[in-house]
Every structure is written in C-alpha cells, then in structure tokens.
Structure 1
C-alpha cells in the first residue's frame, strides 16, 4: 500500500466544507499515483470511462440520475494551485517534474451524460468521459462522490413525491443530513425530484427552491401559554403555519380558531401536526376548522415520515394538504448507497473489459436509447455502441462538455431537470411507479454489436 509522509499545510481555522479551489485534491491517493505512473510511462492516449451501477437497491424500481451536470461543470474548473503542489511535494511520493506538469493540468476532453432527472436502470451508462487517460482517470473519485449523493437523495425524494400524490412535500432534513456539504447539495437533488420547498436557507437560496418553515416547540414553550405564542407569531407573519401539538393537538387547533375569531384580520395559513396519530388528528382538526368556518386553513403533517407512511395516509383519505419530511429523504436509510462504478471501457481505440466474476462491464463508448409506445410511455431501453447505426429509440446521452468546454446549448437548467422528472413520471410504466418491489422490471437489452463485443471478451 502506498503511504504518504506529509500532511496538508496547517490553517489557523481549517475550513469545514471543501472549497471549490481545493477540489483538485478531493481525490483518492491512488488516482494521483496512477497519474504519475501514466505520465512516467508516456501514456497519453484517449480513454473512455463509463459511470453506471450494476444492481438497483432492493427497495428501488429505478434511480433518478442527478449530479452529472454538477460533476461536468466542476471538471472544467479543476486546477492544481501552487499550495496544492507544495502539499503533494511534502508527501514524498511525487517527482518534481510530475508536479510541474500537474500544475498545468486541464481537462480537455468530452463528457456525455444522461440528462439530469432521467430515470436510469441497471448497467446503463449515465455518464461517459472521453479524454486522455491522464485526465479521465483523475475525475473518478470526484464524479462518483457527486453523482452518488445526488442520485441517492433524488431517488428517495421522488418516491416521497409519488407517495404524496400531488400534495406538496417540504424538506425538513437539514439537521439530520451527513454534513454541511450533503445538506446543501441535497437541496439541489430535492429541487430536481419535485419537492415544493425547503427549510434549509443556504440550500434553498443557492439552488432556487422556495424557503418554507413553521415554528418549533421551543417557541411555544418560551411563552407563558400557547395563545400568546400563536398570537405573536401570526401577527408577525400573516398566513403562517402554527404548530399545534406542543401540549394537546385538538386543544391547539381550538386556540387557533379562537385567535382568528377574536382578530378577524389575522390570517393563519395552516396548522402543523408533528406527533401522534396523524390521520386521526388530521380528521379531527379538519372537522374543527370546517365547523368554525375556516376551510381555508390547511393541514400540514410531519413527524419522521417516509414514503410508506405518506402513502398510507393518502390511501386512507387523511385530510392532509402537505407533508414535511426530514430524516428519511436526508439520509435515504433504506437505500443509502448505490453500487456505482466508473470503469475504463476503451483505451487507444481498443475495447477494455473487466472479467471479474459478477463484475463484467460493457466495453467501448456507448449510447443509450429509450423506446416509447404510441402514447409516449417508456417501453424499453437499448445500450448500444456510441456510433452504432440502425438503433431505434431516443438517444439519451448528450455531450455536456466538448474539448474541455461546457456546451452551453446542452447544459440543462435545474428547472428543466425538474420538469423532466415530472414528465418522466407520467411516462414510466405503472409497475415502476409503485413503492413496493415486485414483478414488472423494466427491460434493458444490448444492441447486437455490443452483445458480440461482450461475448468476445
């Protein structure tokens, strides 16, 4: 095992989150040691690396591709600064001439990706990097980190959106997510998946997802009584949502009604239920509000919800108008990772194929085609060679980066990814929209030419 003796230069206060200027060092050590070996051997030929996963998690019928655009954008900006080179020199692993070369490193290749927000299935390439091997190799760790997180989070979030069946879902997950970087990037994935809002101020502002929030139990407890807390908050924030379960939910709803009746100009937009039998309490709250002449006040539910609980509430007809979901979309506890791989599939114009049992990959540069029926629904996918003629279907992989530069006409905005998800959900076979695993796996086949290459090994 290669070992380094140096450490990063000390900082008075180390930055908690990774800065964009340091992303070139956000890599595994063996990427850099391999780069030096390639450099020393004069290996500069063009390579293609393919990003895919071999198996869907047991609780997923599809994954929602997310993070590729982010990865492509960062690839074009990676630079090794003088301070980085000095830190690497201290490890004792790298030659001075290599570090000098590394100081001029730039990504000059092409990156083809599946549009963000597209459903993706087993073994399908949803990102391919074509570049000199000394460039494409370095991207592996960063690409996998970015795409892994955002795809996992978006795929969980879209299940919650499906379960809510048109009711808005808000992100309350900041405090439970695994670190500040994941919390901010997660909001990007939530926006793509179709969430209506987030409580995360930085994430929402950075990724253009509306900010949404209510109040905490601490605010109610800090006042002498619930009435005083509700009155002060509603006067300051007209149309706000009031948390009514600090002591007793039905009593809390009655106090909200009394407050609105006592001050006719005071508006309350919703009451929030955060504990107990949410379905039963929602029915009781709805009956109280309607009987008092306040059908306009909505009911929002939270309290450790996941897609299964939301689906059960919706199926039972609980009069809940929106959901706040935190931990489960923030950490995706039932499927926290995917078996993501970034594999060399072509070098110097020659197919490359890994033969390890259970880990055979598909060689060569590829294209992914999606077929539709007469109504526009997805029917099947075909994985083919990039330039293979005669393949029917919609070609999905698009060149986001050409010659090291972003292709402006191909760079989808986050809003387009969100719209793409909404469109794709309507085109998915009904079996794949169900939460529970079962029969009806989506057909993915290989083209004749790709199948022959794989068999030839």
Structure 2
C-alpha cells in the first residue's frame, strides 16, 4: 500500500480534459476549492482528516513508463500529450485546513492554486482521500462523545471495505478520538496504539473456560481482559474470571490492567450484574469492556440505562460509517488568473440552491467568543481580506441576510484556518504524528458547544460570507440574470 503509484488513481475525464487544455494551449493558473455541503450523520460538525496522504500523493505524482504505455494503449491520447505527461510534476500551491480541525459545510478544506492541467488532475485523488478519512474521523468523534470519556477502541478491520479502508480508516478513527486500534498494520505505519484481547475460539480450544482464562492470564498478566460470554456470562464467564483474578492476586501478580469483555446479550443488564460481582469479590477497578455492533446511539442509550461499561470496542458501524457511508466532498473551480495576475471569480450555478458555489480566491476565518473560547461562526472571505478584532464586526447569514449579529470589539477573536502546504510544487508543511493530531482534535472539539455535538437536531454553526465576498457573489449572479 505504501509504495503503490497512485498517479492513475483518477477519473478518465480528468485526463481527457487535461489533453483538451494541452491542445488548446490553456495554461491558465486557476483556483479550485474542495469542500462539502452537508455534515455526515445529520450532525453539527465534521473532522478534517487525510491531509498527510494528500501530501504523499502530490509529492509522488509522476507518470512512469508503465503508466504512459497503458494510456497510449487506450487509443485516445496523442503522442505530444503523452510526452508532456512523461515529464509531469506538480508545480502549484496548495492550502489546507490541518487534520483534526473541526470543520463545517461549504468552507474550503483544500485550495489548489495551479496551472489548470495540474489542478484538474489531482481532483479525484484529493476527494477520495479527504472524503474517506474525514468521514471516519467524524464518526469516531461522535462515538467517543457518546462514550463520555471512556476509552473507545477501533476494531473494524475485518468489516472494512478492503485493506486501504481498514488501515486509513483506523488512522482517521484515532484522529477522531479512539484510544487505539486492533489493526496492527495501522499501528506500524502511523505509530498509534494497538490493542486487543482474544476471541471465543481461544476459550473453545481449551477443555474448559477456566483453563482458557488461566493460560491467557499467565501469558498476558499486565493486559488481562477476559472474554466472558462464550458459554454463560453470569453463571460461568464472570465467576471463572474472578477465580483467575483471585489466584493472580494471591500469587503476588500485580493487577495493573485487567477485567472482562462482553460481546453479546443485554449489555446494560449484564454490565450492572458484572460490576456488583466484581466489586463484591474485591475487584472494583476491574475494567468492564463491551462490543457487539455498537455505535454512538447505542452507547448513548446504554449510558442512559446506567450501564457500568468503562471501555468500548466499536467495529463495523465505525469503520464503515454504516448509517452515513459517504462524506460528499466536491471540488469546484472558483477563479481563473488573468494576464495581469488578478483572479477573476467563477461561479457554478444550479437549480439546486445548495449547489451554487462561492466564487473567488478565498480563505476561512474562525470566530471565537472571547469569554467562552467557543466557536461563534466561521467566515469565508476573499484571500486578501484582513480583520481587526479591536473593531466591531457585523456578520450575517448569507442565505437569510436579515439575520445579523454584531460582535463588539474585544468580545471575539479570529483565526485563519487555511495554511500553506505546497509552495510552487514544494511541500512547506510538516505533518504531525497521528497521536499529536488526536490531541489537537481533542482541543478542537472542546471549542464546540454541547448543543452542536448532540445527535438529534444539533445546533448548526453559521458559515457566513464577508461583505466583500457576498457583494461579489450577488453582482455575478445579477449579471448572469440569476437573481
């Protein structure tokens, strides 16, 4: 996976358009924005992820002899264009919102400023990477929020849609908040914690449950989580686990990390019974871990029922984002540079209002309430705009512009979200390690109001347009007779 040449990870029409630009001598520098229109799972936010893999893709972008030979064999590309591709390298600029950042619809997550042929080629791969990892990171953030501080382990590899989805999805899940993954390859590639216990087959392979537990505890005394639901959770599994824990304590073996895992049954009822049995036996610090097709809604329900589970293993519903399997990111032309170096705004119109794009070379500012440090709104503006937080700022809903808010000087702060990643084809950004991104993401999630994080009818954070960008968009629409 790490050495695969991804240059042809693109839709054919990107290449046919490239040849069209090549033949028409179209070498203009353009601006493309990658953004999404709706939050996954009908939520109030999303988490940006996948930038490190986008960087790897751009840095290794080249057409080797096999690529050129394959394209020639399609019979639709001319020799002069194929010669151009054989010497291709990305020479443009890329700006992006760092991984782990809380994001909202319609704001540029990645901005590509490059000759149009180059900007067109990278569209598909950027969306493929960004859409998948942002989706899984968002799902993980929701699951971890439901767990209310308990550890959540990602272990959906066997249910993922292939090795890439399982491995990069696990990476994104850790960014979103998971304490580790069962995926050993992910652990090796990205230096994230790998965790796991044993399967029912381990229990079944021994003459009896106690012997299976005893052997496992002998092998892994400092990480002894015993699966107790192979035969009968309350009558067999937990009593045998308690017997093993008692023998360990009597033998002087430190019980540093130990407990039980349940993978079936009424988890709320069983966990409460298990907690009492463990406490009565003198093991109040024993972990109670649970799995079995969990998602954020079931975890929230179990919490509300008083379940005593302290650790959660989440697989299928997390790694596939089962209830919302696609992120919906798009990549749209926003501006074309003229001979004087000015960016001429471009807009895509549609009968669907949500598909009308925001024109121009843009950036994004996040506005925070000074007293709470919570997000007040995001502001999309033109790239050359600046703001003074020592002055009042009026913001408004671009879809319902009569809804206005006046932010008084000194009551708010602002942060530009887009940072430069590539400068004239050279990467100028260092990607943090995944666990560092997770810490950053944890801080980002703290800037959200709880009303935005709830699962049902969450409060939507406003993504506003600056006066200058709003007026430009209206003028273009007026000129095109669409308003």
Aligned partner of 2:351 among 354, 357, 364: 357
- CA offset digits 1:83-140 (Å, max 9, x no partner): 1101111111111111111011101111111111111111111110011111111000
Asked whether the 8 Å contact 1:73–1:406 carries over to 2, the reply is no
Please list, as runs of the form range in 1=range in 2, the aligned pairs for 1:104-119 lying within 5 A after superposition.
Answer: 104-119=87-102
Deviation at 1:147, TM superposition (A): 0.3
How far the C-alpha of 1:261 sits from its partner, in A, is 2.6
Could you tell me which of 232, 246, 263 is aligned with 2:230? 246
The aligned residue for residue 450 of structure 1 is 469
8 Å contact from structure 1 (residues 243, 272) kept in 2: yes
Is residue 98 from structure 1 mapped to residue 94 from structure 2 by the alignment? no
Going from structure 1 to structure 2, the CA distance change for 1:402 and 1:88 (only over 3 Å counts) comes to same
RMSD: 1.5
SS of alignment partner, residue 5 of structure 2:
helix
Q: Secondary structure at the match of 1:299?
A: strand
Match of 1:395 in 2: 416
| Residue in structure 1 matching 2:326, options 315, 321, 337 | 337
Quick check: 1:311 aligned with 2:300? yes
Please give the residue correspondences for 1:157-236 in structure 2 after superposition, counting only pairs within 5 Å: 157-236=140-219
Alpha carbons 1:72, 1:111 under 8 Å: kept: no
- Check conservation: 2:30, 2:336, Cα contact below 8 A: yes
Does the 8 A contact of 2:40 with 2:135 survive in 1?
no
TM-score computed with the length of structure 1 as normaliser: 0.93
Aligned match of 1:302 in 266, 291, 304?
291
Q: Give the whole-Å Cα distance in 2 for the aligned partners of 1:415 and 1:57.
A: 23
Equivalent position to 2:441, from 394, 400, 421: 421
Give the C-alpha shift of residue 347 in structure 1. Answer: 1.4
Alignment of 1:355-394 (within 5 A): 355-358=349-352, 359-374=355-370, 375-390=372-387, 393-394=414-415
The SS at the match of 2:42 is coil
Give the distance between the partners of 1:21 and 1:211, measured in 2 at CA: 24
Give the Cα separation in 2 of the matches to 1:344 and 1:117: 25
Q: Rate the CA distance shift 1:340–1:391 in 2: closer, same or farther, 3 A.
A: farther
Q: Which runs of 5+ in 1 are unaligned?
A: 1-16
1:328: Cα distance to partner?
Answer: 0.7
Whole-Å Cα distance in 1 between the matches of residues 291 and 165 of structure 2?
Answer: 22
- For 2:472 and 2:21, how far apart are their aligned partners in 1? 27
3-state SS in 2 of match to 1:22: coil
Stretch deviating more after TM superposition (370-379 or 165-174): 370-379
CA distance in 1, matches of 2:184, 2:207: 29
> Once structures 1 and 2 are overlaid, which stretch shifts more, 70-79 or 82-91?
70-79
Q: TM-score, normalised by structure 2?
A: 0.88
* Contact persistence 1:354–1:361 (CA under 8 A): yes
Distance 2:91 2:280 in 1: 67
1:136-158 per-position Cα deviation (integer Å, ceiling 9, x unaligned): 11000000000010011000000
Provide the C-alpha distance between the structure 2 equivalents of 1:75 and 1:107, rounded to a whole number of angstroms: 7
1:257 aligns with 2:276: no
- Per the TM alignment, residue 187 of structure 1 is displaced from its structure 2 partner at its CA by 1.6
CA deviation map 1:40-79 (0-9, x unaligned): 1111111111001122245211111111232133212211
Measured in 1, the distance between the counterparts of 2:176 and 2:328 equals 21
Distance 1:411 1:292, change over 3 A: closer
Per the TM alignment, residue 270 of structure 1 is displaced from its structure 2 partner at its CA by 1.4
How many aligned residue pairs are there? Answer: 438
Q: Equivalents in 2 of 1:376, 1:184: separation in Å?
A: 34
